[in-house]
Structure 1
Amino acid sequence: MEWTREGLEGDGFSGFVRFGDLLGAEVPAVPGVYAVVRQPVGEPEFLLSSSGGRFKGEDPSVSRERLDAEWVPGSEVVYIGKASGGATGRRGLRKRLDEFRRFGHGEPVGHKGGRLIWQLEESDTLLVCWKETAVEPALVESAMLRKFTTEFGRLPFANLRN
Structure 2
Amino acid sequence: MYVIVRQCGEAPEFLPSSPAGRFKGKDPSVTRQRLEAEWVAGAEVVYIGKASGGASGRRGLRKRLNEFRRFGEGEQIGHWGGRLIWQLEESDSLLACWKETDEEPARVESEMIQQFVADFGRRPFANLRN
Question: Which letter does structure 1 place at the counterpart of 2:128?
Answer: L
TM (normalized to structure 1)?
0.79
Q: Measure, in 2, the Cα distance between the counterparts of 1:60 and 1:136.
A: 28
Q: Which amino acid aligns with 1:74?
A: G
Where does residue 64 of structure 2 map in the other structure? 96
Give the aligned partner of residue 7 of structure 1: none
The yes-or-no answer on 1:106 pairing with 2:98 is no
Is residue 38 of structure 1 aligned with residue 6 of structure 2? yes
Return the alpha-carbon distance in structure 1 between the equivalents of residues 9 and 70 of structure 2: 25
The within-5 A match list for 1:5-154 is 33-154=1-122
- Distance in 1, matches of 2:28 and 2:38, equals 15
TM-score (norm 2): 0.99
4+ residue runs of structure 1 moved beyond 4 angstroms? Answer: none
Q: Which runs of 5+ in 2 are unaligned?
A: none
Secondary structure of residue in 2 paired with 1:128: strand
Q: CA deviation at 1:102?
A: 0.3
Q: Matched residues in 2 for 1:136 and 1:123: separation? A: 29
Structure 1 residues without counterparts, runs of 5 or longer: 1-32
- The one-letter amino acid paired with 1:57 is G
Give yes or no for contact 1:42–1:73 (8 Å, CA) kept in 2: no
Q: What is the CA–CA distance in structure 1 between the aligned matches of 2:9 and 2:82, rounded to whole Å?
A: 18
Q: How many correspondences in the alignment?
A: 130
Which whole-Å deviations, capped at 9, do the CAs of 1:72-117 have from their partners, x for residues lacking one?
0000000000001101111010000000000000000000000000
